[in-house]
Amino acid sequence: MRLHIILLGALLLFEGLDLKAQTASTGFTVIPLGVKGGLDEANLSSYMVAAKGSSNYICLDAGTINAGLQKAVANKLFTEHSAEEIQKNKIKAYLISHAHLDHVAGLILNSPNDSPKNIYGFSSVIEIMKNNYFTAKSWANFGSEGDKPILNKYTYNYLTPGKEIEIPNTELNVTPYILSHVNPYQSSAFYCVIIIAIYYT
């Protein structure tokens, strides 16, 4: 049995929702950490997604991380009492739709306190991350490629449109698709699948 849900890069369908966990009947828990696209740095595009009943989340975009996690803690969406602990232990990977700052600022700014994990994106996204953000010229290189010194906190994973991948340490498989954004930029849609084993006795 396969359960499906489509999660678009910007996930505008969640815009305006209070910060509460939304559990889809199809078996996903979605926690919006930020739902907007600018002006409010504490509310930029970022959604934690896990299989229902799991505490192994992926983060679809990462515009806001810490401020959103602090709100989630205040709303008792996690048993942990620290946003930093949740970021380090509950978020297993970042899937970035496109590399505009309102989709990656939280990842960049909170990278010193994060734990090692994967960043997934199309090559255009990874190139911007390694050449403009995680570089000695603008920050530190927390990535796995680019300017030296390379700190290797985050491992870049290049996505292929239409090719399903398994996200390690989660129960999710994801298939990325290309979306159009402001020309000439591309964005991504992530099609998430939970594989459920059914046992007959």
Residue 44 maps to which CATH number? 3.60.15
Would you say residue 201 lies in a domain?
no
Q: Which residues of 165-195 are buried (b: 16+ CB within 10 A; e: fewer)?
A: eebeebbbebbbeeeeeeeeebbbbbbbbbe
Report d(CA 194, CA 166) in Å as an integer: 10
**How far, in whole angstroms, is CA 200 from its chain's centroid?**
35
Residue pLDDT, tens place only, 187-198: 778 887 764 443
Check the CA dihedral 176-129-155-50 and report its sign: negative
Residues of the chain with pLDDT under 50: 1-20, 24-25, 195-201
Report d(CA 5, CA 51) in Å as an integer: 11
Would you say residue 66 lies in a domain?
yes
pTM score, whole prediction:
0.84
The whole domain housing 82 covers: 2-195
- Is the peptide bond preceding residue 184 cis, with omega within 30 degrees of 0? yes
pLDDT at 185: 66
User: Alpha helix locations (H) across 24-145?
Assistant: 66-74, 83-89, 101-110, 123-128
Q: Which two tokens stand for residue 28?
A: 């996903």
Would you say residue 169 lies in a domain?
yes
Q: State the amino acid at position 19 in one-letter form.
A: L
Query: Terminus-to-terminus CA distance in the chain, angstroms?
Result: 17
Q: Are 120 and 160 in contact (CB under 8 A)?
A: no
Would you say residue 200 lies in a domain?
no
Domains held by the chain: number? 1
Residue pLDDT, tens place only, 47-94: 999 999 999 999 999 999 999 999 999 999 999 999 999 999 999 999
